Amino acid sequence: MATLSLERRRALTLVATILGSSLAFIDATVVIVALPTIEEDLNLGLAGQEWVFLSYSLALAALYLPAGAVGDRYGRRNVFIAGAAGFALTSVLAGAAPDATFLILARFLQGVAGAFLTTNSLALLRGVYGDQAGRAVGLWTAFTSVATLLGPPAGGALVEWASWRWIFFLNLPLAGATVALAHFGRCDERTQLRVGRLDIPGAILAAAGFGALTYGLVEGTRAGFADHAWAFAVAAVALTGFVLYERRAREPMLPFDLFRRRNFAFANLETFVVYAALYGNFVFFTIFMQFLGFTPFQAGLLQVPTSLVIFALAARFGALADRHGPRLYLTLGPTLFGLGTLCTLLISEKSDFWTAGVASLALTSVGLAMLVAPITATALKSAPSQYAGIASGVNSTVSRLGSTLAIAIIGLVIALVFDARTDTKDAVPLAKDQKSAELRDASIDGFRVGMLVVAGLSFAGAAVGALGISNRDAQSLPDKVSEQAPVPAES
Residue 429: predicted pLDDT? 86
**3-class SS of residue 2:** strand
- CA torsion sign, 482 to 485 to 488 to 491? positive
333 vs 43, residue with greater confidence = 333
Q: What is the pLDDT of residues 349-383, one digit of tens each?
A: 999 999 999 999 999 999 999 998 899 888 888 88
pLDDT class of 203 with cuts at 50, 70, 90: confident
What is the share, in percent, of the chain residues with pLDDT greater than 70?
A: 90
269 vs 138, residue with greater confidence = 269
Q: What is the pLDDT of residues 65-116, one digit of tens each?
A: 888 888 888 888 889 999 999 999 999 999 999 998 999 999 999 999 999 9
Mean pLDDT calculated for residue range 10-35: 83
pLDDT class of 197 with cuts at 50, 70, 90: low
Q: What is the pLDDT of residues 276-291, one digit of tens each?
A: 999 889 878 888 888 8
Mean pLDDT calculated for residue range 18-42: 80
d(CA 303, CA 344): 15
Q: Read out DSSP for 401-432?
A: HHHHHHHHHHHHHHHHHHHHH---TT--TT-T
Q: Which helix (H) or strand (E) is 322 found in, with range?
A: helix 304-324
pLDDT class of 23 with cuts at 50, 70, 90: confident
Residue 474: predicted pLDDT? 60
d(CA 393, CA 266): 16
399 vs 336, residue with greater confidence = 336
177 vs 248, residue with greater confidence = 177
pLDDT class of 480 with cuts at 50, 70, 90: low
Residue 454: predicted pLDDT? 96
Whether 72 and 390 have beta carbons less than 8 Å apart is answered as yes
125 vs 490, residue with greater confidence = 125
54 vs 420, residue with greater confidence = 420
Mean pLDDT calculated for residue range 160-169: 87
Residue 490: predicted pLDDT? 38
What is the share, in percent, of the chain residues with pLDDT greater than 90?
A: 32
Say yes or no to pLDDT of 300 above 80: no
Average pLDDT, the chain: 84
Select the highest-mean-pLDDT range: 42-46, 137-141, 155-159: 137-141
Mean pLDDT calculated for residue range 16-27: 86
Say yes or no to pLDDT of 333 above 50: yes
Residue 233: predicted pLDDT? 93
d(CA 311, CA 309): 5
Q: What is the pLDDT of residues 402-457, one digit of tens each?
A: 887 887 788 888 888 998 988 877 787 888 778 888 899 999 999 999 999 999 99
- CA torsion sign, 322 to 325 to 328 to 333? positive
